[in-house]
Structure 1
Amino acid sequence: MRLHPSALFSPLVALLLAACTAGGDITRPIPTRWVPATQPPHRLVVMLPGRGDDLQSLGRRGIVQTIHEYWPDADVVLTGLTMPFYREGRAAERLHDEVLAAARARHYDQVWLAGISLGGMGALLYDRAYPGEIDGMLLISPYLGDKAIYREIQASGGLDHWQPGPVQPLSEANYQRELWRYIQRWSNDPGRTASTWVAYGDKERFRDRVALLATQLPSGHAFELPGHHNWKLWQPAARTLLQHARLEPARATESKQPAGN
């Protein structure tokens, strides 16, 4: 199911715009910076920024060097998929058409999405809209909605017992419900959970929601680290995920198929 034009939503916008938010020109393609692997490339990592970062600040943070330290065989694409693209309502569609479709044409063995905060949510929304198009996800402090939906899920006895109601197209009113419905389906999708890793801080405002997502993952795929919602946490979180994230051979073999097969 593709993301509809209403898919980024005033409650999220109000929350995230309360702090520093990077801008962007949605009349132009998503800004990207392609950094080649330091060894013969076998995989690609597409990096989605958090609300306060853009293409330039991602470059300054040294995240490419961190990726290459652990995955020297990875080409890296930094993106400027910032809040204006989400507000437009076509973030997943444009990420697919402008970045990932071209990447798939290169026939990498593996294609990964890595996202921080807002970018973590972006990775999840992409996988929801285009299932099977990426091979793995690295989620760092992903934003997963507000407290109300979390309390509803907990009051029902957890994700296994939660009844989200009929499936609806994404809208301002229900995007959090549909995001959690997608996460709930992971219970029956071991292929997705086996290729997803998450790291988050023990002092983050949204810690409880990320911890709930972590219950859907296999042992060794979720890491709670000391820290707040900032780069002092996100750099060691990236290192932790890159150290541990691996695809099973069967999954990696599947990813060699050209896009659309």
Structure 2
Amino acid sequence: MKALAATLALIALGGCAASGDIRQPIPTQHVAAPQTAQRLVVVLPGRADDLVALQRSGIAAAIQSAWPDADVILAALTLPYYRAGDAPQRLHSEIMQPARLQGYRSIWLAGASMGGMGTLLYDAAFPGAVDGLVLFAPYLGDTSLLREIRDAGGVARWQPGPPQPVNADTWQRELWRHLQTWTSQPAQAQRVWLTYGDTDRLRDAMPLLERVVPPTQVLRREGGHAWSVWSAAAVDVFHAIDAKSAAKP
């Protein structure tokens, strides 16, 4: 994963990148549930977000308005951690594994933009380690690869070639290889929810991902690439998750 640094350093997400001292643990804020905590949602930031930006985003309050029994951990997994090449591993060892020991009934991982990419990278590195994923307009890779997948007729028909070690040249292809497994393992896709704004600057990539996510778990909203869109949508997403669970026979 070390060679991932060169590519991740050039991610064209726009805006300034938040800093971070990778010699220190991932900065976090624990937002306690208003009720007795039964669930946990870990939230990853976009490229320009630090912990303060996550706090100001309103995402914790949005999640807890729908899930008052959920603790929320805001985790400032900023670009320097990705540049170091071991962001999924650090997220696992520093946050996700310790959380599992707390006895939560379920643990969800959510991320916006770069954080959505990080959520998917984590799921690829540790399949099934979380109970569900919530993706807010995730960054899904370069336009050239997206065009290749689109020209193939979608991710289910795309031929990614032989599996390769993850490095700066292969991580995007290997990530999409992981997403392709959802087409043959629909139970994995059943735990994924996607939301984005109709004027989001990454919206052109979303239809490819929508092909592997249940249609009822895709929520499009008015607006662009901003927490004001995602936090508002999060209320609907987390209510919908519970509604789906309640509807199961």
Shorter-chain TM-score bucket reads: over 0.9
Partner of residue 204 from structure 2, selected from 187, 208, 222: 208
- Given the superposition, is the C-alpha separation of residues 113 and 178 from structure 1 closer, same or farther in structure 2, using an over 3 Å criterion? same
Task: Write the distance in 1 (CA, Å) between the matches of 2:178 and 2:15.
Answer: 28
Which amino acid is the alignment partner of residue 71 of structure 1?
A: W
Return 5+ residue gaps in structure 2 as ranges: none
1:129 aligns with 2:138: no
The DSSP-based 3-state class of the residue aligned with 2:187 is: helix
1:155 aligns with 2:119: no
Report the alpha carbon displacement of residue 176 of structure 1 after superposing the two structures with TM: 1.1
Contact 1:201–1:224 at 8 Å: present in 2 too?
Answer: yes
The DSSP-based 3-state class of the residue aligned with 2:94 is: helix
1:79 aligns with 2:75: yes
In the superposition, the TM-score normalised over structure 2's length comes to 0.94
Which amino acid is the alignment partner of residue 33 of structure 1?
A: Q
Written as runs of structure 1 = structure 2, the 5 A alignment for 1:103-114 is: 103-114=99-110
Corresponding residue number in structure 1 for 2:43 = 47
Could you give the per-residue CA deviations for residues 10-53 of structure 1, whole angstroms, max 9, x where no partner exists?
Answer: 2x422347521110000000011111111111110001010111
Partner of residue 192 from structure 1, selected from 171, 188, 195: 188
Report the alpha carbon displacement of residue 156 of structure 1 after superposing the two structures with TM: 1.4
Corresponding residue number in structure 1 for 2:66 = 70
- Given the superposition, is the C-alpha separation of residues 55 and 156 from structure 1 closer, same or farther in structure 2, using an over 3 Å criterion? same
Contact 2:4–2:167 at 8 Å: present in 1 too?
Answer: yes
Could you give the per-residue CA deviations for residues 62-96 of structure 1, whole angstroms, max 9, x where no partner exists?
Answer: 22111111100001111110000000001000000
Corresponding residue number in structure 2 for 1:57 = 53
Choose 211-220 or 120-129, whichever is displaced more.
Answer: 211-220
The DSSP-based 3-state class of the residue aligned with 1:187 is: helix
Task: Write the distance in 2 (CA, Å) between the matches of 1:187 and 1:18.
Answer: 31
Written as runs of structure 1 = structure 2, the 5 A alignment for 1:233-252 is: 233-246=229-242, 248=245
Contact 2:57–2:228 at 8 Å: present in 1 too?
Answer: no
Task: Write the distance in 1 (CA, Å) between the matches of 2:80 and 2:103.
Answer: 30
Report the alpha carbon displacement of residue 239 of structure 1 after superposing the two structures with TM: 2.0
Corresponding residue number in structure 2 for 1:7 = 4
Written as runs of structure 1 = structure 2, the 5 A alignment for 1:172-191 is: 172-191=168-187
Which amino acid is the alignment partner of residue 85 of structure 1?
A: Y
Task: Write the distance in 2 (CA, Å) between the matches of 1:210 and 1:159.
Answer: 12
Calculate percent identity across the aligned residue pairs. Answer: 46
Task: Write the distance in 1 (CA, Å) between the matches of 2:240 and 2:4.
Answer: 32
Q: Which of structure 1's runs of 4+ aligned residues deviate more than 6 A?
A: none
Written as runs of structure 1 = structure 2, the 5 A alignment for 1:219-230 is: 219-230=215-226
1:168 aligns with 2:168: no
The DSSP-based 3-state class of the residue aligned with 1:162 is: coil
Corresponding residue number in structure 1 for 2:135 = 139
Which amino acid is the alignment partner of residue 106 of structure 1?
A: Q
Give the alignment's Cα RMSD to 1 decimal: 1.7
Number of equivalent positions? 246
Partner of residue 33 from structure 2, selected from 31, 37, 47: 37
- Given the superposition, is the C-alpha separation of residues 160 and 182 from structure 1 closer, same or farther in structure 2, using an over 3 Å criterion? same
Contact 1:9–1:171 at 8 Å: present in 2 too?
Answer: no
In the superposition, the TM-score normalised over structure 1's length comes to 0.89
Report the alpha carbon displacement of residue 248 of structure 1 after superposing the two structures with TM: 4.5
Corresponding residue number in structure 2 for 1:25 = 21
Return 5+ residue gaps in structure 1 as ranges: 252-261
Task: Write the distance in 2 (CA, Å) between the matches of 1:211 and 1:229.
Answer: 16
